[in-house]
Each structure stands twice: as structure tokens, then as C-alpha cells.
Structure 1
Amino acid sequence: MTALDPEFRFSSIGEVIERLEPSYPVFCIFPDVLRTRAKAFVEGFPGTVLYAVKCNPHPYVLEALAEGGISHFDTASITEIAKIAELMPEAHSYFNHPVKGRGALDAAAKVYGLKDYVVDHADELDKLISIAGTDITVEVRIATPKGKAVYDLSAKFGATPDDAVDLLKEAKRRGCRTALAFHVGSQCTDPSAFRVAMELSAKVRDRAGVPLEYLDVGGGFPAIYKMNVPPLSDYFDVITRARDELGFDIPLLAEPGRALVADGCSVLTQVHLRKGDDLYINDGIYGCLSEIRDGDLDPPVRAVSLSGSLGGATQPFRIFGPTCDSLDVLKLPFHLPEVIAEGDWIEFGQMGAYSIGMQTGFNGFITDTIVRIDGMHEEFVY
């Protein structure tokens, strides 16, 4: 077994540094944290929890979530569908991308036997039925108002209420089962956004007048980062009250991603050069740290040396990634010890969501050392 063996296990970030002294970035997965998050969501949400695979598709992550009680998955490509089928043959996958290639649809229906598909346009419904037939559930996704979310997904997907009514009626007329779906936007900081979307769904339901198999309330459940976000229990309470008051006597589904995995991973980077208040590290916006720039997210960080965590007075630093271009820079200032120097390490916490799954490999830089760490972040408080 070598240091780069994916089965290499550690008890802490400190042990990773002590044993590997890595000059390359290391993606650290904490299965105990992931299992705990999954269990809390499964027990707290008033319905079925689908993990959004795109958020972090690494097998260690998927396996830990399954051990925490998740057996349903929001998949958006044939690659994700195949991965779930291989790792967890008994799991239930939903093809929840509103726009699907014909080849992917053919494989999803005929090779993997999927029965649940999202659409938001009449042409997509025609394509779906022509390939998958009518023994399926058609989830009609409606666009929701832009609320307090970092990413507005309804700018790209979602039918208007009028079109949603027509799609539901047409899907039912052609012999399909029907359902409704929406997404309030990623990293939504306002629980009432779910109430607004469920009220809109109720209006579409009543106008369409067709039986619904379920209502999929999508994702958007936030991670804390350094933002002032309500606890997940507030979101669950809003959804439960809206379900009861709006008469949704059908199963509810949810597609959390970020809220399940953000806390369960971190990225360990090394400082390769210090120029005054600028630090040059070995991961950046083309790698696992893209969301720090794209979402203006502010994850917790700490500096570590071979002898342990660096302490003392701190100062703001600008951080550059490793690629040979000037765009690879994190916009936020990071407050780190004044004594930090070349050879020290920086751990970026809460990096489980949209990190390793979004890296590009640009310029030959890629984070391909993944380790498992047992325990619940004893060294690093998120």
C-alpha cells in the first residue's frame, strides 16, 4: 500500500500531513460526518430523500450516504445513473435533468429501467415518450420566483404555470403517471421560498386536475459556511406545514446535495510561494475551489505546519491557484497567521459540495489523491 492508494485511511488531517508531507493537494473525506448528515436528513425531512449526485459523485461519498440511510438518487446524466447502478444495484434513480439526449434516454429506460423523468417542455415530453414509452412517471418541473439563493436555477429550467398545466394534462392523456417538481435555487437562505413554490405547485395541481404520484420539492437546502442561514429544521417545518395546509396528501421528495455533503470533506493544499500578502497554492478555481469564486462562498480555513496548527496574529491574504494564468485567484481575502510560509499547508473546510466533481484538470493540475479520515473533525471546528 502506498500513500496514493485510495484505500489509505487516516485518523486526522494532522496524520495526513505527518505521514505524507504532501506537496500535492489532498481531498479529504470524512465518512462519519457524511453518515451523520444523511441520517439527520432522512429522519428530519417529511418524505423521501434523493441525494443529488452531481454535488459530489465520489464513490466514498455515495457509499457513506447510503450507509446513513439514503437509497434514492437524483441523477442528471447516464454516467451518474450507471455509477449508482454499479455501486448500489438496489437503489432507485430518477432522471431529473429536464433536457436529455436520445441516447441517454434510451440507455436509462432500456438498460437501467428508470421509471421517473423530469420534463419542462412539450418537445421533451414527446421525445421521452417516443423512447421510454408510457409506463413512466413524468415529473413536470415548474419555474419558481428568484429568491434568496446563491444560484437561480429557474433562469435555465422550469415551465410556466400555464405550460405546466398543459404538460401534466398531456402526459396523463397519453397514459403516463404524473408528478410535479421544482427547485428554489442552490444555497437558498430563506425557508419561505419552499412555501411560495409549494403554493404555486398547488395552483398548477388544481388547474391540471390530474392525479399526482408525488411532489418533488427539489434541493436548495443550505450549508452554513460563514453565512447566517436558518437550521434545516426550519426548512422541514415550512415544508411540512405547507404540505398539510395546501392539501398535498401525496408523498414528498427532496433532492439535497450541498446540505448533505459540504461538511463532510475538506481540501488540504500547500503553500508553494509567498509574495508579501499573496500566497500561491496547489489548488484553485479550476480545481476543487471553484465555488469559492463562483458562489462567493467563504469556507473556514486553517494553516498547519509539520508541528501542528499555526497560531499567532493573523492578516488577510490573497490566494492564487497553481495554473499559469491570472484568472486563477480567490476573490475573498483569507485571514491566516502572519507567519505562514512556503511549505505550510492550508486546509479549506466545508468543501464537500461542488468541488472534486467540478475540477477541470486545466494546465495539468488535478486533485487525484483522495483519503478517508475517521472521526468528526476533532482538529477543525467548522
Structure 2
Amino acid sequence: MPIVKTNTTQIAQPTQLRPYGLPTYNTSADAIAAYAGDDQIYVLYPRKIEAAARTFLNGFPGQVLYAVKSNPHPSLLQILWDEGVRNFDVASIREMELVAGLLPGAKMFLMHPIKSRATIARAYALGIRDFSFDHKDELQKIIDCADDATDLRLHLRLALPKGDAAMPLSGKFGADFESATALLQSARHVSDKLGVCFHVGSQCMVIDNYDRAIGYARDLVNAAGVSIDSIDVGGGFPVAYPDMPIAPMADYFHAIADSLSAHGFANIAVFGEPGRALCAEGGATLARVELRKGSDLYLNDGTYGSLFDAGQFAWKFPVKLHRNRPPAPALNTIGFRFFGPTCDSADTMNGPFHLPADTCEGDWVEVGHLGAYGQTLATQFNGFYSNHTVAVLSDD
């Protein structure tokens, strides 16, 4: 979708939907009826992805970087590009080459704080100039692999005090306060542009976490006594899963804008790295019921497939039943536990997932909100996997 740029806002203009090279159906039921395979079916909902992109492009108070890790499917990347997303957060050589090959005009940011020297060198050769770091040795690696280049745009990853996200990300990455002040001072001398970045945690449902993080960044920059050119507020933008109600995304945008202004960051470049919020609702998995035992359903997808978060973190994804034969599903529902197809007993999703009480073998269960961290986490364990992805045009 083309973008009309003004001085302050990116406005997405509607265009006609394209199928993006995938088998395309009006409904999920149509996709199931046409399928002759034995595996699960992955679904992309282009209109939902488009709507999410417009929300961020028109509302986020800065530049939008799509976090490719959340779903690198080429068709999804193309949908985002056509909507006007031009910046992509990549972490590996394969992600870089995927984006560069598919979208030659894209601007990539290598925001993974710890990288191999080969990754840094390949990134620089591909024209990437934005690099994250959180340690003096990583900073030196970037300098070495870019041959002491003078056009580096460096982003110091900060370790934040513990927040309230559903999936906290503290502990693995980020410089503490004392280290960060010294790193900012060192990086200022070797960077063309210098910024700070952080991540409040995945699925952050407490908006004030962004204000606390921005205030923390302000204190750190003041302590370092250097000027910065950008601030990256990271990802964490949530999606409304069952039992996880969220505020409107506009509330997040307004709070971030107000906090940036209040803490003296209004006149520098601002970045955000949505992943889940751009693609989660735009994807689903259609899994067939192979057997029912009481309130247990055995599916042809599970935690070693696209339902990792349902097993590992006990997330209750939205579900609905598809049955293409009589009788119509019962009106009353009960809570089910799911088991995946592998021989591993850990392939368990406790839910409960509420479906019609007469759900049985041969029915298909649509598990929603799996556009993010669904099929991208799937393995080929035990020989159970799917290469079948379709586009569905309805928004149901």
C-alpha cells in the first residue's frame, strides 16, 4: 500500500488486496475443503496485517521497524512493504539476505546486541549501518568488522529494571547503568549517529513501563554527559489474547510521545520495533482433530509446531471449530486440553480451549493469533510439519 508522507505523519492509503503468491480463499472453511494433504494448514489474513501496519504507520510517534523474527514469511514481508513499512529489524545473515533479496529498497537495522564477526561484516557489505551493542567487546567487533568506518549508527542496548511484561526480557541483553554511561562515552567518538535502545518485554500490558524506561534512558544519558541522536523504544506492543485484555494501541502511542517530550527526547529520531503487534492477528493455524479422549483433543499440530507458546507459556489462544459435514457443531462449549502429534508427552497444551461440546475426530480447530511466533518457531520433530500456507480474505 502506498504511503503519503506529510511533515509529521505517514498516512497509508487503501489499495486493492493482492494474494501475494499464496493459494487464496475467501474463508478458512474454503481452504480446508480444498486441502488434500495430511498436515496442519498455516493461514495469513492479509487484511488484518494491512490494518495493523496502518495503525503503526499512522500512529506511532517515530519510524516503524518490523521485527522480522516474529514472522519472516516472504508473503507477510511483502504485505508490510506494500503497506509502507520500509524499515526491518534483522538479527542474522539469513534474515538480512531474505529481506535484501525480497525488498531491495528496504532499510535494515541489525539490532541483535551480540553478533558474530561474519554477521557484522556481511551486514556492512549489504549497506547496513545501524548496529546495536551492549558491551565494550561488541563495540570493538563492530569497529573492526566495519574497518573503522566513520558512517556507523550505533545503538546502545540498555538493561532495564524489571517490568510487568508477560514475557520479561531482562537478563540476557543490555548494559547496566554504570557500564552504559562508559559505553556511551566511548561510542560517541566512533559513531556518526549514536542512540540508546531498550526492550520493555514481550506482550507489555502496562503502558507506564515505556515511560519508566524512557525516564531511565534520560537519567543515563545525563550521567554520561553526551548527546544522542536517537532513541529506540523497542517492541513489546501487545495483542489481545484470551485473558489478556489490552488498552487501545493509540494509548501506547500517546503515552510514548508524551514521555519522550517530558524527558527531553522530542527533537531526536525515534524508532520502535513492533513484531507481535504487526502480525499476530494476521495469522492462524488450522489443525485437524485426530482423536478425542474425554476432554482431551489430539491434533496434528502442537508445541513442536506452531503451538509452542500454548505449551511452554500456557497461553490461551482464541479457537474456533470448522466442520464441513453434518451435524452442525453443538452450541454449548466445554474446555479442552490439546495434545500434539509427536511421541513426546511434553507436547501438551493445557488451555483450557473452549470448543463445541461435540468436537470430534475429523473436525478442524482454528487457533488464532499465531501470525507471530507460530510457524516461525515450528520444528520438524518426529516428521510432523507443514509447508502449506494460504491467504484467507475474510476477516472472521
- The residue number in structure 2 matching 1:10 is 25
Structure 2 residue 230 is the aligned partner of structure 1 residue 214? yes
Instruction: Decide which of 321, 328, 336 is 2:355's aligned counterpart.
Output: 336
- The residue number in structure 2 matching 1:72 is 87
- Identify which range, 206-215 or 326-335, moves more after superposition: 206-215
Q: Deviations over 1:166-195 (max 9, x none)?
A: 111101223543111000000001010000
**8 Å CA contact 1:6, 1:371 repeated in 2:** no
Instruction: Decide which of 92, 104, 118 is 1:103's aligned counterpart.
Output: 118
Aligned-pair distance for 1:365? 0.8
- The residue number in structure 1 matching 2:322 is 304
User: Equivalent residue of 1:154, what SS?
Assistant: coil
- The residue number in structure 2 matching 1:380 is none
Structure 2 residue 332 is the aligned partner of structure 1 residue 317? no
Instruction: Decide which of 247, 258, 264 is 2:264's aligned counterpart.
Output: 247
- The residue number in structure 2 matching 1:124 is 138
Q: What pairs up with 1:41-52 in 2 under 5 angstroms?
A: 41-52=56-67
- The residue number in structure 2 matching 1:233 is 250
- The residue number in structure 2 matching 1:265 is 283
What amino acid sits opposite 1:25 in the alignment? Q
**8 Å CA contact 2:24, 2:393 repeated in 1:** yes
What amino acid sits opposite 2:338 in the alignment? I
TM-score for the superposition, normalised by structure 1 = 0.94
Q: What pairs up with 1:156-195 in 2 under 5 angstroms?
A: 156-195=172-211
Percent identity of equivalent pairs: 40
User: Equivalent residue of 2:288, what SS?
Assistant: strand
CA distance in 1, matches of 2:343, 2:314: 23
CA distance in 2, matches of 1:307, 1:41: 41
What amino acid sits opposite 1:288 in the alignment? S
Aligned-pair distance for 1:35? 0.9
CA distance in 2, matches of 1:348, 1:277: 17
Aligned-pair distance for 1:86? 0.7
CA distance in 2, matches of 1:71, 1:280: 41
Q: Deviations over 1:304-336 (max 9, x none)?
A: 111487232211221100001111010222121
Q: Deviations over 1:79-137 (max 9, x none)?
A: 11111101111111000000000111111112x01100000001100111011133201
**8 Å CA contact 1:39, 1:68 repeated in 2:** yes
User: Equivalent residue of 1:195, what SS?
Assistant: helix
Structure 2 residue 387 is the aligned partner of structure 1 residue 374? no
User: Equivalent residue of 2:264, what SS?
Assistant: coil
Aligned-pair distance for 1:251? 1.4
User: Equivalent residue of 2:66, what SS?
Assistant: strand
4+ long deviations beyond 4 Å: none
Aligned-pair distance for 1:10? 0.7
What amino acid sits opposite 2:343 in the alignment? C
Structure 1 unaligned residues grouped into runs of 5+: 378-382
CA distance in 2, matches of 1:196, 1:37: 26
Query: RMSD value over aligned CA atoms?
Result: 1.5
- The residue number in structure 2 matching 1:204 is 220
Structure 2 unaligned residues grouped into runs of 5+: 1-19
Q: What pairs up with 1:354-373 in 2 under 5 angstroms?
A: 354-373=373-392
What amino acid sits opposite 2:273 in the alignment? E
**8 Å CA contact 2:314, 2:349 repeated in 1:** no
- Identify which range, 39-48 or 203-212, moves more after superposition: 203-212
TM-score for the superposition, normalised by structure 2 = 0.91
Aligned-pair distance for 1:338? 1.6
- The residue number in structure 2 matching 1:136 is 152
CA distance in 1, matches of 2:211, 2:333: 43
- The residue number in structure 1 matching 2:13 is none
**8 Å CA contact 1:116, 1:136 repeated in 2:** yes
**8 Å CA contact 1:31, 1:64 repeated in 2:** yes
